Amino acid sequence: MSLAKPFLSDNAAPVHPKLWEAMRAADHPDNPYDGDALSQELDARFTALFGRECAALWVATGTAANCLALATMCAPHGGVVCHEEAHIEVDEGGAPGFFLHGAKLMLAGGEGAKLTPDGIAALIDPIRDDVHQVQPHAIAITQASEYGRTYRPDELAMLGAFAKQRRLGLHMDGARFGNAAAFLGGSADQAARAASGPVDSLAFGFIKNGGMGAEAVVLFDPEAARQVRYRRKRAGHLQCKGRYLAAQILAMLEDDLWLANAAHANAAAQEVAAGCGDRLLHPVEANELFVRLSPAERDVLRAQDFAFYDWGADSARFVTAWNTRPEDAQALGKAIAAL
């Protein structure tokens, strides 16, 4: 597959130069696991970022980050409410069933792969509180969503209130958290707080945003954090040279590189969107575009060296990244407009 003008996925992008620098700077002997100086900084750095006390632990994948967090809020006999197109349901190879020891994903609908209190209530209200039916223990949302949609602060606040009222945990899959935060804009400070909102835990994604192999599990409850430390090891996710993961994350936080990278990708997505008109299946609120395109139209684009995935029979998905060249994005927008 041609990778000349790549809109396949942000996870195919290379690693940001600042992260290479940071990793090389960490390339000296230090204590193993998370006993090194860099790993030890994480809690404080994320606490500052979010303006509330939290713990942050590196892991190598978003799948692990999501599942380790969810395991703190859903017992094996409980259920996690998520969108029927949520990544944890559709694309993680059954990982929640593994990490949560057989707990059930409970699937709700919702426009743009976003959950709403009403949609969740419609799913869980009919569940009788008897032992024959799995009871919901937690909610998982994705920010930005699987269709590149972003929860607004008031939507998060309502979900938070709902979760609290129903005594459900609230987890955020932030594989593209940076893109959501950038979209919510304003200051980095506010954007991050708005995007994490009232959640109990966050899988803060860096890999799709210029990282190599480090995401952060952010836990706002100290007891959950303690538990995840044990569970991370038990899941084989405590790398012995953790300083290279911490280095990546700290470099991302430095001068808000994570937001700059995400803003770059978002801007490129808007360039593409400008050419899509009513072909867009979803408003573009992050760095993904879902575009109605016939097979023939897709062939035309591919003949121009644009690389992307089909999305069902009649559309395609384009993803921009921290390194997308603006000229490629403009070219793609124009090429689509010209179809």
Q: Of the two residues 91 and 154, which places its CB atom closer to a copy of itself in the complex? A: 91
Contact 88, 66 (CB under 8 A): yes
Q: Of the two residues 68 and 286, which places its CB atom closer to a copy of itself in the complex? A: 68
Query: What's the rounded Cα separation, in Å, for the pair 249 and 67?
Result: 20
Both tokens assigned to 211: 């990282």
Question: What b-and-e string marks burial along 168-205, b requiring 16 or more CB atoms within 10 Å of the CB?
Answer: bbbbbbbbbbbbbbbbbeeebeebbbbbbbbbbbbbbb
In the complex, least distance from residue 278 CB atom to a copy of itself, rounded to whole angstroms: 27
Q: Of the two residues 88 and 194, which places its CB atom closer to a copy of itself in the complex? A: 88
Count Cβ atoms below 10 Å from residue 42 Cβ, excluding itself.
23
For binding to a copy of itself (CB under 8 A), which residues are involved? Answer: 1, 3, 6, 8-9, 11-15, 20, 24, 27-32, 59-61, 63-65, 67, 75-77, 79, 90-104, 131-135, 207-208, 212-213, 227, 229-241, 244-245
Both tokens assigned to 117: 């209190």
In the complex, least distance from residue 232 CB atom to a copy of itself, rounded to whole angstroms: 7
In the complex, least distance from residue 73 CB atom to a copy of itself, rounded to whole angstroms: 13
Q: Of the two residues 87 and 279, which places its CB atom closer to a copy of itself in the complex? A: 87
Residue at 130: amino acid letter: D
In the complex, least distance from residue 198 CB atom to a copy of itself, rounded to whole angstroms: 25
Pairing of strands 55-59, 215-219: antiparallel
In the complex, least distance from residue 31 CB atom to a copy of itself, rounded to whole angstroms: 7
In degrees to the nearest 10, what's the CA dihedral of 15, 16, 19, 25? Answer: 100
Q: Of the two residues 134 and 339, which places its CB atom closer to a copy of itself in the complex? A: 134
- CA distance readout (Å), 322 to 81, 146, 153, 206, 274: 31, 18, 24, 11, 19
Burial status of residue 29 (CB atoms within 10 A of its CB: 0-12, 13-18, 19 or more): exposed
Q: Of the two residues 26 and 188, which places its CB atom closer to a copy of itself in the complex? A: 26
In the complex, least distance from residue 90 CB atom to a copy of itself, rounded to whole angstroms: 7
